[in-house]
Amino acid sequence: MSAVLPRHRVNVLTGTKSARLIEDPAEYADLIKKAKRPLLVVGPLLLESTADGKLLLEYALDLAKAGGIPVCATAQTRGKIVELGVQPDCLYDAVEIVNALKDPDWQGVKKEGNHDLVMFCGIRSDLGNQGLSTLKHFARHLKTMTLCKHYFPHATYSLPNFKKDSEWYEFLESLIANLKKGD
Partner 1 sequence: MAVAEKKLSRKLEEIHERIRAEIPWEPLGPTPMPDMPDLRSWDMRLLKTYKPFYAPFCDLCCLCTYGKCDLTGGKRGACGIDIATQQARIVLLACLMGCSAHAAHGAHILEHLIEKHGADKKIDLGGSIEIEAPHIRTVLGLKPETLGDLQIAIDYVFKEVSHLLDSCHTGQEGAALDYESKALHAGMLDHVGMEAADIAQIVGFGYPTSVADTPLVDMGWGAIDKSKPTILVSGHNPATSTELIDYLREHNLEDKVEVAGVCCTALETTRYSDKAKIVGPLSRQLFFMRAGIADVIMTDEQCIRTDTPQEATKVGAAVVACLDKAMYGLEDATDMDPDEIVRRMVDDGEHFAILDSSKAAEVAVKVAMELAPKRRKEWVTEEEAMELAEKCNNCGMCEQVCPNLCRIGAGITELAKGNFEPMRVLFNECIGCGKCEEECPRHVPIFRLMQVAAGNETWKARAGRGPIMDTEIRTVGAPITLGTIPGVVAIVGCSNFPDIEDVADMVDEFAKRKYIVVLSGCSAMVAGMKKDADGKTVYEKYPPDFEGGGVVNVGSCVANSHITGAAIKIANIFAALPLRGNYEVMADYVLNRVGAVGVAWGAMSQKAASIATGCNRLGIPVVLGPHSSKYRRLYLSRKEEDDWRVMDARKKEIVDTGEPSPEHLAYVCETKEKAMPMIAKLCIRKNDTPQGRAIKLNHYISLHKKYIGGGLPEDLHLFVRRDADIPLVYKKEVRAHLQEIGWQPKEPVGLPTYIGTYPSKVSVDAVIH
Q: What is the dihedral of CA 39, 44, 45, 50, to 10 degrees?
A: 90
- Dist. CA 175–CA 6, nearest whole Å: 22
* Under rule CB under 8 A, residue 167 binds partner 1: no
SS3 state at 155? coil
- Dist. CA 183–CA 176, nearest whole Å: 13
Closest separation in Å from C-beta 120 to partner 1: 12
Decide: 82 and 89 in contact? Cβ < 8 Å: no
* Under rule CB under 8 A, residue 50 binds partner 1: no
* Under rule CB under 8 A, residue 1 binds partner 1: no
- Choose the binding region for partner 1 from 19-27, 29-37, 61-69, 123-131 (rule: CB under 8 A): 123-131
From candidates 4, 22, 91, 177, binder to partner 1 by CB under 8 A: 91
Decide: 176 and 58 in contact? Cβ < 8 Å: no
String of contacts with partner 1 for each residue 66-85, x by CB under 8 A: -------xxxx-xxxxxx--
Q: By the criterion CB under 8 A, which residues form the site for partner 1?
A: 7-10, 13-17, 43-44, 73-76, 78-83, 88, 91, 93-96, 98-100, 103, 123-127, 130-131, 133-134, 136-138, 140
